[in-house]
Structures are given as structure tokens and as C-alpha cells.
């Protein structure tokens, strides 16, 4: 029996964008749909001298338009929402916070501390929470901490942060979030692979020629992100986390059961076996980095910045299943479309009966998992065009989520916050997973320094050299 069914979701850094755009709507939607296991109070914590009324008004102004609840209204939800002014680097303020949380609950309560704060404040906040006993679970109710990315800036700093945090709380209390794992279509990767007998027998080097993953964005540095982004770049911001998560779900071995340990163990193994295409002597042959025109003039960006806003690379997974199969990964800002997809390109049949397989454009069997937008799955194959002779034409079977299920796809944060409250860590990164991702990203960042920074026009698909990452007759990017 849980000690209490009351949970306080305490957001540190509550005056920021993430809180109003994603976190509060997620809690509201989960409550509306009766998806939370008990009662819930939302508490915003930040430095600004706001009060409850100001905070509530701020949320109403800045949250996206939310569908009304069937049983409850936004106004009723806001009544249970409070604001506590706290300087997150001032230990004394946490004593006051602890007292206020107790008063608000009026009874024992579970607590989620969501760190929607600058990375420099991750450890300080946890140390301060710990120092006033807010992370102590010995009285019964649980205490969980959610950490946003970036988790460190390289392998060494991620290790230091892991060690320091795990010196204060248990791994079972620490939820390292990657919001891509909360996306409905990302979660479907495992169902698609492991619940259908049809595809998994083909899911290996014998039948798969190449896998490509694209996360393309149309946005740039909107919302004053230039300062942060210029210290991160496309590898740290997207490739080394979101794209690697997609890769590990596509490439992992089936877990023996759907437990958080089994799933995370298998994902870690893929990351351990991931390497760059280092058999090529020149990194420029397997890494293409780019910067969009006008990036250096963005607010917060250094005028001589060498930060990449586009990255594409060719990687391999050195294991029995994937030996020799290239994984082409690409992400960038200011590309022509918002488009995230995974394409599994199958090999040609072993013997030529129709046409010549030397024709390089012939790569008929491709399975594309469309992650966003227009979520769905496409299976490409070839058919005979009706009429005399044999003319072969590409065709596809397509499934669209919204058409099929006639319902909107929930926001990633909603699912992930529900999982924090129910205590399921399957969709959160374990310390070894973060470290293995950094191991690979560090190698990439190092090798990338030996490649030229190429500029690209906004609204283009990045430097054209990204097309040369495909070997002869290996096809091309599914878009662009």
C-alpha cells in the first residue's frame, strides 16, 4: 500500500518556458484524463518575486490552448497550483520551501522535484534539497528528482555529475528525462518490432542494408536560445541524446521482459557497441558539420562561433546483428521541414529477374517509421504497372496514426510525468546509458574538429556533402 496518495509536483525553475509550455499542460492533461494514481498538487518554485495569483495568471497567458477537462476546468486546476519564491542557490530558502510544502500538503505527501533549471544548478539544487531533508524517503512517502538535459557536457563531466548526484540520492530516485522517449511513435518502436512476427526476422545485417535516422527542424534560435545553443551545438543538443535514443530502440535486442531493467540493459548494450566509421582515415568522409547562414548574428551567439547547427554522420554497431550495416544519422536547424523519421532500407533480392540491379536508384523495400509530424508507418515495395510487358513502379502501404485511431497524440511530457509519479523508469536514462552516449558523442566531437565547418542556406537540407555519406548504390536520404 502506498503511504499516501497525495503527490506534490514541485517544479524548480517554474518561471521558465518549459514549465508553462510543457510541464503544467502535461500535469493538467494527465489529471483531466484521470491518469494520475492519486491526488496531485502543483507547486512552482523560482527566484522571481511572484505570488500565487501572478503565477496562475502567467500560466494562463503562456500555456498553449488546452482542451477543457471533462470533469474539471483550468480554473479549478489553477486553484491547486501555488508559487513559492526560492533562490535556488541559497540553502536557507530551502528550509522555508520545506515548511511551505508541508503546510500545503497538510498530510504526508510524495514529492517529485522537477529541475527545469540551468544545468549549473542541477547539483546545487539537489544538494540543497538533500540538506533540508526534502529527499529523505525514510518516513514512507517517496521523493523523486527529474533532471532535464544536458546531463554534463562530455563523458568526464557526466561521470562527475552522476557520481555527485548518486552520492545524495539513489538511482531509483533519479529520472533523467529525454522527452523523445515520451513520444507515442517512439514508444511504438518496441511494440512494432517485438509484437509483430513479420519484421523482426528481417531486422538484421542479412536483410537490412542501411538504416537512416533524420531529426530535421525548421526552427533556429527562437525564444532566446542562442546563448545556450552556442555552447552546445547539434551534437550535444540533439544527436548525442534524442537521435541516439531512437537508434538504440531500433537496434536493441529484444528484452527478455518489459521491465525497466531489462529494457535499459539492452539499450545500453547497443550504445556500448556503437562506433564511428573510423575505418576511413579522414573524418570528413563520415562526418559532415554545418552552420546555417546568419547563425553568427543570432542573439547570444559569438560572432566567430564554430558551433554546428547541422550534423550528419555514418556510424556502425559492432555486434552480431548489425555488423557492417551503416547507420546514417542527421539532424539540423533551419531545415525545410520539421521531420523525424527512421528508415530501414532492405537489401535487394539475391537474383535479378526484372531489370538490372545495377541501377542504383533501385532500393524498393524501405520501412519508414514516421516519428513526427504526420506520425505513421510506410512500407515501400514495387509492383507491376497494369498493361503489356513488365513495367515496375514503386508503391507503398501507409498507416497514419491520427487517421487510424481518430484521436490526438498525447504530448511526450504527459506520459513521462505519469511514469515519474507511478515510479516507472523504463523511459528514463540510467547513468550508464548517459555515459555510453557521451562516450560516442565525445569521439564524434573530437573527430568533427578535423572536418571543415560548411555553411548552408536556411531552408535547405544542410551541406550537400551530407549526401556523400552514402556509399555507391546505397541510396540517399529519404528527404532532401
The residues of the shown chain that bind ligand BG6, judged by CB under 6 A, are 217, 219, 237
CB 211 to ligand BG6: min, Å: 19
CB 148 to ligand BG6: min, Å: 8
By the 8 A CB rule, do 332 and 220 touch?
A: no
> Which residue is associated with the grid cell 522571481?
48
Closer CB to ligand BG6, residue 44 or residue 240? 240
CB 81 to ligand BG6: min, Å: 24
CB 424 to ligand BG6: min, Å: 21
Cα(333)–Cα(153) distance, rounded to whole angstroms?
20
- Catalytic residue (one of 130, 242, 277, 334): 242
Cα(436)–Cα(172) distance, rounded to whole angstroms?
19
Closer CB to ligand BG6, residue 237 or residue 308? 237
* Residue of this chain nearest to ligand BG6 (CB atom): 237
Closer CB to ligand BG6, residue 137 or residue 153? 153
Closer CB to ligand BG6, residue 129 or residue 186? 186
Distance between first and last Cα of the chain = 54
Q: At what angle do helices 244-251 and 184-195 cross, to 10 degrees?
A: 20
CA 25 distance to own-chain centroid? 18
C-alpha cell at 347: 537489401
Residues 6+ apart with CB under 8 A from 8: 40, 41, 42, 43, 101, 104, 105, 109, 110, 111, 112
Cα(150)–Cα(115) distance, rounded to whole angstroms?
12
Closer CB to ligand BG6, residue 109 or residue 416? 416
Under the phi-then-psi rule, with left for phi > 0, alpha for psi from -120 to 50, and beta for the rest, what region is 475? left
Q: At what angle do helices 260-273 and 431-448 cross, to 10 degrees?
A: 20
Residues 6+ apart with CB under 8 A from 216: 330, 331, 332, 335, 336, 337, 338, 339, 340, 461, 479, 480
CB 415 to ligand BG6: min, Å: 13
By the 8 A CB rule, do 266 and 245 touch?
A: no
Closer CB to ligand BG6, residue 40 or residue 335? 335
Cα(144)–Cα(102) distance, rounded to whole angstroms?
16
CB 180 to ligand BG6: min, Å: 7
DSSP 239: I
Closer CB to ligand BG6, residue 135 or residue 216? 216
242 given a catalytic annotation: yes
CB 294 to ligand BG6: min, Å: 17
Bridge partners (DSSP) listed for residue 313: 287, 329
The catalytic site residues sit at 242
Amino acid at each position: 500500500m502506498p503511504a499516501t496518495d497525495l503527490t506534490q509536483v514541485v517544479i524548480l525553475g517554474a518561471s521558465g518556458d518549459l514549465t508553462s509550455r510543457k510541464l503544467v499542460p502535461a500535469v493538467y492533461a494527465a489529471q483531466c484524463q484521470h491518469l494520475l494514481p492519486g491526488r496531485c498538487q502543483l507547486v512552482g518554485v523560482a527566484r522571481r518575486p511572484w505570488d500565487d495569483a501572478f503565477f496562475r495568471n502567467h500560466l494562463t497567458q503562456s500555456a498553449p490552448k488546452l482542451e477543457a477537462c471533462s470533469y474539471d476546468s483550468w480554473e479549478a486546476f489553477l486553484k491547486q497550483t501555488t508559487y513559492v519564491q526560492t533562490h535556488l542557490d541559497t540553502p536557507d530558502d530551502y528550509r522555508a520551501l520545506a515548511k511551505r510544502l508541508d503546510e500545503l500538503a497538510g498530510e504526508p505527501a510524495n514529492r517529485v522535484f522537477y529541475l527545469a533549471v540551468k544545468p549549473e544548478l542541477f547539483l546545487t539544487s539537489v544538494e540543497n534539497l538533500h540538506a533540508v531533508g526534502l529527499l529523505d524517503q525514510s518516513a514512507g512517502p517517496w521523493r523523486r528528482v527529474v533532471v532535464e538535459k544536458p546531463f554534463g557536457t562530455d563523458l568526464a563531466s557526466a561521470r562527475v555529475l552522476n557520481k555527485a548526484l548518486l552520492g545524495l540520492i539513489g538511482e531509483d530516485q533519479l529520472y533523467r528525462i529525454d522527452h523523445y522517449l515520451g513520444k507515442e511513435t517512439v514508444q511504438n518502436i518496441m511494440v512494432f518490432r517485438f509484437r509483430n512476427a513479420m519484421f523482426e526476422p528481417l531486422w538484421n545485417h542479412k536483410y537490412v542494408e542501411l538504416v537512416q535516422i533524420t531529426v530535421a527542424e525548421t526552427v533556429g534560435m527562437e525564444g532566446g536560445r542562442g546563448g545556450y545553443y552556442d555552447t552546445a551545438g547539434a551534437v550535444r543538443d540533439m544527436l548525442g541524446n534524442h537521435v541516439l535514443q531512437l537508434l538504440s530502440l531500433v537496434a536493441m535486442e529484444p528484452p527478455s521482459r518489459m521491465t525497466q531493467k531489462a529494457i535499459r540493459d539492452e539499450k545500453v548494450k547497443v550504445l556500448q557497441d556503437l562506433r564511428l566509421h573510423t575505418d576511413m582515415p579522414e573524418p570528413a568522409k563520415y562526418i559532415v558539420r554545418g552552420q546555417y547562414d546568419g547563425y553568427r548574428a543570432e542573439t547570444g551567439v559569438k560572432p566567430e562561433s564554430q558551433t554546428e547547427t547541422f550534423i550528419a554522420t555514418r556510424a556502425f554497431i559492432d555486434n552480431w546483428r548489425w555488423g557492417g550495416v551503416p547507420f546514417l544519422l542527421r539532424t539540423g536547424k533551419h531545415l525545410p521541414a520539421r521531420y523525424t523519421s527512421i528508415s530501414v532500407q532492405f537489401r535487394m533480392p539475391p537474383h535479378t529477374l526484372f531489370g538490372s540491379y545495377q541501377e542504383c536508384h533501385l532500393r524498393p523495400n524501405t520501412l519508414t517509421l514516421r516519428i513526427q509530424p504526420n506520425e505513421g508507418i510506410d512500407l515501400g515495395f514495387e509492383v507491376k504497372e497494369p498493361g503489356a510487358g513488365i513495367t515496375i513502379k514503386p508503391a507503398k502501404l501507409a498507416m497514419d496514426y491520427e487517421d487510424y485511431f481518430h484521436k490526438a497524440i498525447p504530448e511526450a511530457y504527459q506520459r513521462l510525468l505519469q511514469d515519474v509519479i507511478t515510479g516507472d523508469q523504463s523511459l528514463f536514462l540510467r547513468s550508464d546509458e548517459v555515459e555510453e552516449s557521451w562516450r560516442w558523442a565525445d569521439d564524434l566531437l573530437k573527430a568533427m574538429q578535423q572536418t571543415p565547418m560548411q555553411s548552408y542556406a536556411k531552408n535547405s537540407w544542410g551541406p550537400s556533402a551530407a549526401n556523400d555519406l552514402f556509399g555507391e548504390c546505397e541510396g540517399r536520404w529519404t528527404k532532401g
